[in-house]
């Protein structure tokens, strides 16, 4: 688990702590030497407090504790960690550059202290240059302003005598180019620096320089008449390229000088060559604002861009993209290959983007694409173009990529889409809409692309509402166990029952299909799972009081495997209720078996030890093989209802059903058909030697009292015959 956390976060040199119930910490991993001075060499003890070691860390811990203890209540499901930001810690071993991360992983409260020395020095280097450039840029601005101001005051002082010596001296040695013109923008003075910039020897006409400048402004900015007819200061950058002179970036300021009566008497041009700054700024900006692995804009840059568009009220669409199961790719192929594959995936995707699309890497395997809606475009056509783009990205992602060592790998993606201003009023909201759509796509088996809609929001609000309400469901007696008969077609007797959970909330009965996944996202599933088991034990007691001896099966959620003391709880319940464990059975789904073979095998064996039986639910939907099943302590296979449903007219389904029945017989397992609703289905099962069935034909799930009444009825009935 930690290994994968560390991988996901891309951490290398870090220490991982787990927070205990007593609020002390144990070091799980990363007993680095650099930690020792921070913890005053206490690192040998088993658990310790992290208080008073670092002022910065103490402060972050307030947020961290709040996150650990309250994050469950928080809405957003992808906030599974918070970061402190980088800080410098001064220890007697020197300066440490650290970042702390609080996370919840597998329900454990984890604190990571990450030594970011390398990132720090890289970042420092990049930003040092970038910021120095910003400063020198500011300095140039300041120097232009200063020089203009100086010239202006000389011009005003010497207004009577015309352009004279003082002015000449002021500009002769300036390293900024200066051109002074009359009110008609005809050049009066040009200093040597200005000549140098335009590579003019003395012989070249001075007029020429002004012509160049004016035409550059015209082409790259706007009409010069706008500047000179409305006498305001103007400043801008010009790109000048006149071979053989190397291309140049120039900074130009133009300032009018007014005479006593408020009319322009002179124009002052100041010019400097900013090519070097411009170039360095650009390369550094690339470093500071791009993801080093993929070269894509990073989160910070993306955010700026998104906000810029939204500020302009530009309609945009956001695609939030996630690679399915990328974590396992990293685990399977290792980091370097994982990185290589990511790079290929990005290249491939960028190739289909159009000019102006903005793609960014926001997380290890998460990307976003920002597309602007062209002005005046038809809404329908635009939406179609977005769908085409998404489709193309998805279908491309299903084509194989190859690692350097030529190993084949597929990186399928899921996409969530949101629109501004349709879905959101600001950038945060737009991102969270796209993320919500993405979350829904990730959950869906069939859909790879989900477009955000009001309905999606309502569904997520309902989930939140249910999640909150579910916490009190047991206390408020809202949960009820129903029983559905399992029927022996030959003997026409109920031989078993399945316990099915119902939730009554404010007059509405909520199906487990809806609320069990919600419970599974939190610890609630354990509580509910235990409650169902205990309730079924109660029911067994009731049944035996009525003289009914009938096994009851209980559904088991995959998440309950992590409930460490579950088996003890089972044993305890069985003893306390004095019931025969033969009358209890757990239904595990096929998916559980495949995903965690070793862990599940151990778990099932322990269950078997208690005497409880085990059946495999929804069988046929996963890919369990015979050899696989052979080694697991299983008693029964339940054929998934989807195969029975179409048994009359779907040959494939019939083949699967036959195979399952054969498999069960050869392994000496009993087999139950689920979802039997028609006479024809029943006949098929009889013909193929499956004589135990469950379905509306034999009875719907019903309250326990009804169930008992029914059984007694049925038995009397049977007795009469």
Partner 1 sequence: MGKTSLIKQFVEGIFSEKYLTSIGVKVDKKIVSGGYTPVQLLLWDLEGVDRYTGFNPRYLRGCSGIIFVADTSRFASIPEVMELHDLASEHTDAPSILAINKSDLAPSINWCEDTVSKHTACFKKTFRTSAKTGSQVNAMFEAMSQIVTME
CB of 153 to partner 1, least distance (A): 11
- Out of 29, 145, 488, 523, name the contact with partner 1 by CB under 8 A: 145
Cα separation, 639 vs 676, in Å, equals: 10
- Out of 111, 130, 550, 644, name the contact with partner 1 by CB under 8 A: 130
Q: What phi and psi values does residue 84 have, to the nearest 5 degrees?
A: -85, -20
Cα separation, 142 vs 226, in Å, equals: 25
- Out of 31, 76, 304, 354, name the contact with partner 1 by CB under 8 A: 304
- Segment lying near partner 1 (by CB under 8 A), choices 40-48, 83-91, 518-526, 628-636: 83-91
Taking CB under 8 A as the rule, which mask of x and - marks residues 33-72 in contact with partner 1?
----------------------xx--xx-xx---------
CB of 268 to partner 1, least distance (A): 14
- Segment lying near partner 1 (by CB under 8 A), choices 188-196, 297-305, 467-475, 680-688: 297-305
Q: Does 279 bind partner 1 (CB under 8 A)?
A: no
Q: Does 142 bind partner 1 (CB under 8 A)?
A: yes
Cα separation, 87 vs 117, in Å, equals: 10
Cα separation, 659 vs 37, in Å, equals: 65
CB of 299 to partner 1, least distance (A): 10
Our CB check for partner 1 shows the closer of 138 and 379 to be: 138
138 contacts: CB under 8 Å, gap ≥ 6: none
70 contacts 79 by C-beta, under 8 angstroms = no
- Segment lying near partner 1 (by CB under 8 A), choices 80-88, 537-545, 546-554, 623-631: 80-88
Count of CA atoms in the C-beta half-sphere (13 A) of 388? 9
Our CB check for partner 1 shows the closer of 97 and 249 to be: 97
Q: Does 486 bind partner 1 (CB under 8 A)?
A: no
567 contacts: CB under 8 Å, gap ≥ 6: 603, 606, 607, 610
Relative to beta strand 94-105, strand 234-240 is unpaired
Per the structure block, which two tokens stand in for 683? 């006949």
Q: What phi and psi values does residue 443 have, to the nearest 5 degrees?
A: -75, -25
Q: Does 232 bind partner 1 (CB under 8 A)?
A: no
Our CB check for partner 1 shows the closer of 64 and 217 to be: 64
Q: Does 127 bind partner 1 (CB under 8 A)?
A: yes
- For residue 181, the surrounding DSSP H or E stretch is strand 177-182
- Segment lying near partner 1 (by CB under 8 A), choices 123-131, 200-208, 229-237, 595-603: 123-131
588 contacts 599 by C-beta, under 8 angstroms = no
Q: Does 700 bind partner 1 (CB under 8 A)?
A: no
Q: Does 289 bind partner 1 (CB under 8 A)?
A: yes
Q: Does 305 bind partner 1 (CB under 8 A)?
A: no
- Out of 25, 34, 68, 87, name the contact with partner 1 by CB under 8 A: 87
CB of 98 to partner 1, least distance (A): 9
Relative to beta strand 692-694, strand 479-488 is antiparallel
- Segment lying near partner 1 (by CB under 8 A), choices 133-141, 404-412, 458-466, 481-489: 133-141
Rg (CA), the chain: 37
Cα separation, 243 vs 246, in Å, equals: 6
- Out of 48, 258, 303, 333, name the contact with partner 1 by CB under 8 A: 303
Our CB check for partner 1 shows the closer of 84 and 682 to be: 84
Short-list 416, 80, 100, 118, CA closest to 292: 118
Q: Does 118 bind partner 1 (CB under 8 A)?
A: no
Please report, for residues 138, 214, 238, 249, 278, the alpha-carbon distance to residue 275 in angstroms, rounded to integers and kept in the order given.
15, 19, 10, 5, 5
Q: Does 85 bind partner 1 (CB under 8 A)?
A: yes
Our CB check for partner 1 shows the closer of 122 and 169 to be: 122
Short-list 524, 536, 598, CA closest to 560: 524
Cis amide prior to 421 (ω within 30 degrees): yes
Our CB check for partner 1 shows the closer of 123 and 596 to be: 123
Cα separation, 431 vs 449, in Å, equals: 16
- Out of 135, 352, 387, 541, name the contact with partner 1 by CB under 8 A: 135
- Out of 4, 20, 78, 128, name the contact with partner 1 by CB under 8 A: 128
Cα separation, 590 vs 618, in Å, equals: 7
Cα separation, 1 vs 8, in Å, equals: 10
Question: Under the rule (CB under 8 A), what is the footprint of partner 1?
Answer: 55-56, 59-60, 62-63, 84-88, 90, 97, 99, 120, 123-124, 127-128, 130-132, 134-135, 138, 142, 145-146, 149, 288-289, 300, 303-304
């Amino acid at each position: 688990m930690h290994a994968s956390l560390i991988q996901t976060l891309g951490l290398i040199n870090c220490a991982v702590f787990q927070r205990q119930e007593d609020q002390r910490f144990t070091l799980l991993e990363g007993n680095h030497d650099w930690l020792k001075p921070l913890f005053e060499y206490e690192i040998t003890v088993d658990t310790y407090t992290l208080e008073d070691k670092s002022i910065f860390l103490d402060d972050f811990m307030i947020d961290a504790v709040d996150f650990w203890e309250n994050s469950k209540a928080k809405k957003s499901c992808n906030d599974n960690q918070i970061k402190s930001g980088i800080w410098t810690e001064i220890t007697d071993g020197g300066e440490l550059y650290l970042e702390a991360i609080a996370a919840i992983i597998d329900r454990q409260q984890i604190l990571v202290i990450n030594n970011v020395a390398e990132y720090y020095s890289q970042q420092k280097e990049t930003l040092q240059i970038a910021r120095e450039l910003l400063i020198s840029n500011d300095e140039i601005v300041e120097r232009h302003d200063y020089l203009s101001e100086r010239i202006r005051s000389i011009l005003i002082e010497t207004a009577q005598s015309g352009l004279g010596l003082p002015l000449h001296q002021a500009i002769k040695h300036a390293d900024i180019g200066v051109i002074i013109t009359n009110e008609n923008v005809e050049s009066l003075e040009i200093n040597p620096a200005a000549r140098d910039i335009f590579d003019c020897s003395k012989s070249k006409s001075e007029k020429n320089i002004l012509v160049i400048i004016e035409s550059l402004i015209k082409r790259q900015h706007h009409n010069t008449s706008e500047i000179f007819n409305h006498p305001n200061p103007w400043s801008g950058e010009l790109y000048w390229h006149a071979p053989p002179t190397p291309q140049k970036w120039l900074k130009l300021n133009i300032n009018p000088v007014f005479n006593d009566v408020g009319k322009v008497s002179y124009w002052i041009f100041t010019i400097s060559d900013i090519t070097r700054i411009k170039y360095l700024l650009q390369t550094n900006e690339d470093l500071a604002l791009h993801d080093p692995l993929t070269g894509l804009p990073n989160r910070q840059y993306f955010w700026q861009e998104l906000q810029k568009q939204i500020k302009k009220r530009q309609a945009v669409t956001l695609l939030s993209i996630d690679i399915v199961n990328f974590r396992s790719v990293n685990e399977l192929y290792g980091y370097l290959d994982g990185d290589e594959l990511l790079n290929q995936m990005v290249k491939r995707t960028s190739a289909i983007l159009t000019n102006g699309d903005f793609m960014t890497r926001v997380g290890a395997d998460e990307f976003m694409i920002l597309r602007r809606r062209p002005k005046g475009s038809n809404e329908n056509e635009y939406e179609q173009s977005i769908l085409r783009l998404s489709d193309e990205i998805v279908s491309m992602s299903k084509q194989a990529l190859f690692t350097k060592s030529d190993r084949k790998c597929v990186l399928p993606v899921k996409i969530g889409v949101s629109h501004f201003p349709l879905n959101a009023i600001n950038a945060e909201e737009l991102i969270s809409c796209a993320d919500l759509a993405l979350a829904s796509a990730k959950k869906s088996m069939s859909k790879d692309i989900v477009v955000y809609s009001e309905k999606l929001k309502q569904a997520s609000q309902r989930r939140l509402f249910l999640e909150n309400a579910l916490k009190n469901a047991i206390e408020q007696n809202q949960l009820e166990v129903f029983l559905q008969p399992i029927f022996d077609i030959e003997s026409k007797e109920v031989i078993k029952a399945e316990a099915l959970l119902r939730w009554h909330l404010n007059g509405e009965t909520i199906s487990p299909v809806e609320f069990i996944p919600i419970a599974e996202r939190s610890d609630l599933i354990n509580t509910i799972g235990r409650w169902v088991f205990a309730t079924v034990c109660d029911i067994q007691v009731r049944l035996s009081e009525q003289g009914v001896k009938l096994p009851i099966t209980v559904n088991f959620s995959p998440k309950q495997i992590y409930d460490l003391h579950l088996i003890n709880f089972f044993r305890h319940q069985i003893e306390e209720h004095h019931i025969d464990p033969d009358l209890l059975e757990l239904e595990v789904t096929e998916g559980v078996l495949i995903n965690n073979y070793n862990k599940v095998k151990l778990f099932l064996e322990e269950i078997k030890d208690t005497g409880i039986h085990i059946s495999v639910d929804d069988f046929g939907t996963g890919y369990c093989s015979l050899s696989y099943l052979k080694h697991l302590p299983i008693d029964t296979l339940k054929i998934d209802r989807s195969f029975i449903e179409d048994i009359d007219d779907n040959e494939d389904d019939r083949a699967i059903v036959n195979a399952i029945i054969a498999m069960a017989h050869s392994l000496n397992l009993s087999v139950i058909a689920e979802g039997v609703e028609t006479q024809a289905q029943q006949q098929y099962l009889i013909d193929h030697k499956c004589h135990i069935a469950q379905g509306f034909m034999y009875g719907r799930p019903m309250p326990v009292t009804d169930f008992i009444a029914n059984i007694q009825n049925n038995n009397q009935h049977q007795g009469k015959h």
